[in-house]
Amino acid sequence: MFQQDYLMRIFLQFAEAIRRSMEKANGKLDPASAAEMLETAIGEATELDGGVLLSLAPESIASILSVSGTDPRVVEYIARSLLLESRYLEDAGDTERAALRASQARALADSYGIDLTEESISAEEFETLFEESKKGL
Protein backbone atom coordinates (compact mmCIF):
# COMPACT_ATOMS: atom_id res chain seq x y z
CA MET A 1 0.00 0.00 0.00
CA PHE A 2 2.77 2.45 0.93
CA GLN A 3 4.64 1.72 -2.30
CA GLN A 4 1.46 2.26 -4.35
CA ASP A 5 0.86 5.61 -2.63
CA TYR A 6 4.48 6.59 -3.20
CA LEU A 7 4.34 5.67 -6.89
CA MET A 8 1.04 7.48 -7.37
CA ARG A 9 2.55 10.59 -5.80
CA ILE A 10 5.54 10.37 -8.17
CA PHE A 11 3.27 9.85 -11.19
CA LEU A 12 1.09 12.81 -10.18
CA GLN A 13 4.13 15.04 -9.67
CA PHE A 14 5.52 14.06 -13.05
CA ALA A 15 2.19 14.57 -14.78
CA GLU A 16 1.85 18.04 -13.27
CA ALA A 17 5.45 19.00 -14.10
CA ILE A 18 5.04 17.80 -17.67
CA ARG A 19 1.77 19.70 -18.11
CA ARG A 20 3.27 22.90 -16.67
CA SER A 21 6.37 22.58 -18.83
CA MET A 22 4.24 22.10 -21.96
CA GLU A 23 2.23 25.21 -21.09
CA LYS A 24 5.41 27.20 -20.51
CA ALA A 25 7.00 25.99 -23.76
CA ASN A 26 3.78 26.42 -25.76
CA GLY A 27 4.57 28.66 -28.69
CA LYS A 28 8.22 28.59 -27.62
CA LEU A 29 7.52 31.27 -25.01
CA ASP A 30 10.09 30.03 -22.50
CA PRO A 31 11.57 26.66 -23.48
CA ALA A 32 14.63 27.06 -21.22
CA SER A 33 12.43 27.45 -18.16
CA ALA A 34 10.28 24.51 -19.29
CA ALA A 35 13.44 22.38 -19.52
CA GLU A 36 14.44 23.42 -16.00
CA MET A 37 11.02 22.35 -14.69
CA LEU A 38 11.55 18.86 -16.08
CA GLU A 39 15.04 18.62 -14.59
CA THR A 40 13.59 19.48 -11.19
CA ALA A 41 10.89 16.82 -11.58
CA ILE A 42 13.50 14.21 -12.51
CA GLY A 43 15.58 15.04 -9.44
CA GLU A 44 12.54 14.79 -7.18
CA ALA A 45 11.37 11.52 -8.70
CA THR A 46 14.72 9.81 -8.32
CA GLU A 47 15.48 11.28 -4.90
CA LEU A 48 18.97 11.89 -6.26
CA ASP A 49 20.73 15.17 -6.89
CA GLY A 50 19.22 16.02 -10.27
CA GLY A 51 22.14 18.22 -11.30
CA VAL A 52 24.65 15.47 -10.65
CA LEU A 53 22.48 12.76 -12.20
CA LEU A 54 21.90 14.75 -15.38
CA SER A 55 25.58 15.58 -15.75
CA LEU A 56 26.41 11.88 -16.18
CA ALA A 57 27.10 10.13 -19.44
CA PRO A 58 24.00 8.43 -20.88
CA GLU A 59 25.11 4.90 -19.97
CA SER A 60 25.96 6.02 -16.44
CA ILE A 61 22.46 7.35 -15.82
CA ALA A 62 20.99 3.98 -16.74
CA SER A 63 23.46 2.24 -14.41
CA ILE A 64 22.79 4.60 -11.50
CA LEU A 65 19.02 4.27 -11.80
CA SER A 66 19.24 0.49 -11.98
CA VAL A 67 21.11 0.30 -8.66
CA SER A 68 19.21 3.14 -6.96
CA GLY A 69 15.99 1.16 -6.75
CA THR A 70 14.05 3.58 -8.97
CA ASP A 71 10.87 1.84 -10.09
CA PRO A 72 10.99 0.95 -13.82
CA ARG A 73 7.62 2.65 -14.32
CA VAL A 74 9.16 5.89 -13.05
CA VAL A 75 12.11 5.39 -15.39
CA GLU A 76 9.74 5.56 -18.35
CA TYR A 77 8.58 8.99 -17.18
CA ILE A 78 12.21 10.02 -16.79
CA ALA A 79 13.15 8.83 -20.28
CA ARG A 80 10.21 10.60 -21.87
CA SER A 81 10.87 13.75 -19.85
CA LEU A 82 14.49 13.78 -20.94
CA LEU A 83 13.45 13.49 -24.57
CA LEU A 84 10.91 16.29 -24.11
CA GLU A 85 13.54 18.39 -22.38
CA SER A 86 15.88 17.86 -25.32
CA ARG A 87 13.23 19.40 -27.59
CA TYR A 88 12.87 22.39 -25.26
CA LEU A 89 16.64 22.86 -25.12
CA GLU A 90 16.83 22.70 -28.91
CA ASP A 91 14.15 25.40 -29.10
CA ALA A 92 16.15 27.49 -26.60
CA GLY A 93 19.27 27.17 -28.76
CA ASP A 94 21.18 24.92 -26.36
CA THR A 95 21.97 22.23 -28.92
CA GLU A 96 24.80 20.61 -26.94
CA ARG A 97 22.65 19.94 -23.86
CA ALA A 98 19.74 18.98 -26.10
CA ALA A 99 21.86 16.25 -27.70
CA LEU A 100 23.00 15.03 -24.26
CA ARG A 101 19.42 14.81 -22.96
CA ALA A 102 18.29 12.93 -26.07
CA SER A 103 21.20 10.49 -25.65
CA GLN A 104 20.37 10.04 -21.97
CA ALA A 105 16.72 9.36 -22.83
CA ARG A 106 17.67 6.77 -25.44
CA ALA A 107 20.15 5.06 -23.10
CA LEU A 108 17.42 4.68 -20.48
CA ALA A 109 14.96 3.44 -23.09
CA ASP A 110 17.45 0.88 -24.37
CA SER A 111 18.41 -0.26 -20.88
CA TYR A 112 14.81 -0.64 -19.69
CA GLY A 113 13.20 -1.84 -22.93
CA ILE A 114 11.10 1.30 -23.34
CA ASP A 115 9.69 2.11 -26.77
CA LEU A 116 10.71 5.76 -27.10
CA THR A 117 9.87 7.78 -30.19
CA GLU A 118 9.16 11.43 -30.92
CA GLU A 119 5.46 10.57 -30.61
CA SER A 120 6.13 9.38 -27.04
CA ILE A 121 6.45 12.98 -25.89
CA SER A 122 3.15 14.29 -27.20
CA ALA A 123 0.59 15.50 -24.67
CA GLU A 124 -1.70 12.65 -25.69
CA GLU A 125 0.97 9.98 -25.18
CA PHE A 126 1.89 11.40 -21.75
CA GLU A 127 -1.78 11.31 -20.78
CA THR A 128 -2.04 7.70 -21.94
CA LEU A 129 1.07 6.80 -19.94
CA PHE A 130 -0.35 8.45 -16.84
CA GLU A 131 -3.69 6.65 -17.18
CA GLU A 132 -1.94 3.30 -17.70
CA SER A 133 0.28 3.97 -14.67
CA LYS A 134 -2.75 4.63 -12.49
CA LYS A 135 -4.42 1.41 -13.64
CA GLY A 136 -1.26 -0.60 -12.98
CA LEU A 137 -1.21 0.30 -9.29
Domain limits for position 128? 2-135
pTM: 0.90
* Measured CA angle at 116 (ends 66, 46), to 5 deg: 35
Q: Which residues of the chain have pLDDT under 70?
A: 1-3, 27-28, 137
The predicted structure's pLDDT at residue 36: 92
**Predicted local distance difference test score (pLDDT) of residue 137:** 66
* Range list of H helices, the chain: 2-25, 31-46, 50-53, 58-68, 72-91, 95-112, 123-135
Predicted local distance difference test score (pLDDT) of residue 126: 87
Q: How many domains does the chain have?
A: 1
